[in-house]
């Protein structure tokens, strides 16, 4: 009768494997953490294929890319909203100053108004572009059924995000 290993040991092995450890590193950590258990190296080596861990690795990578995409897009969106608020404030002040002509010249007020309007337009264009990119990535994730291809695309997207940080 085959030896039944503790579930916590298998769960620990899967966790380590999904974190990117090699199966040999997983085995070594299990031997160190569970010295009372006698475990064959071949048993640990069989777990990924037998339990579908490689599919889980791809799913983890996909979720990681989605989280990176979401985090980066949230940061960009937050920054854009802050900029939009600043430009809106600038435009409002310029309009108010034009009304009471407290600028040294009307030309100064007009320039401030123009800067505010142009800034708002740039920020709005950026928000539109960000939404477009998010929609495209969403379509890719939804429509690509080949997990290997999706994993490759995910890795490439991670590289692009890192280049633009």
Taking the C-alpha atoms of 34, 36, 37 and 41 in order, what is their torsion angle to the nearest 10 degrees? 70
Number of H helices, E strands in the chain: 6, 0
Task: Give pLDDT tens digits along the chain (165 positions).
Answer: 456 777 888 888 888 877 778 888 988 988 898 888 888 888 888 888 787 777 766 676 777 777 766 666 677 777 777 877 887 787 777 677 666 655 566 777 677 777 777 777 777 666 666 667 777 777 777 777 777 787 777 777 767 766 665
């Amino acid at each position: 009768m085959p030896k039944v290993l503790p579930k916590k040991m298998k769960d620990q092995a899967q966790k380590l494997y999904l974190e990117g450890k090699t199966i040999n590193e997983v085995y070594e950590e299990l031997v160190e953490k569970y010295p009372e258990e006698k475990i064959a190296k071949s048993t640990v080596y069989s777990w990924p294929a037998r339990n579908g861990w490689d599919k889980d690795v791809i799913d983890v990578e996909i979720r990681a890319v989605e989280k990176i995409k979401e985090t980066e897009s949230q940061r960009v969106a937050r920054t854009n909203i802050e900029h939009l608020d600043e430009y809106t404030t600038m435009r409002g002040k310029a309009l108010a100053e034009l009304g009471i002509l407290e600028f040294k010249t009307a030309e100064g007020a007009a320039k401030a108004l123009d800067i505010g309007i142009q800034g708002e337009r740039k920020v709005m264009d950026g928000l539109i572009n960000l939404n477009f990119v998010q929609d495209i990535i969403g379509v890719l994730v939804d429509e690509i059924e080949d997990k290997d291809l999706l994993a490759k695309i995910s890795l490439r997207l991670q590289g692009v995000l890192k280049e633009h940080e």
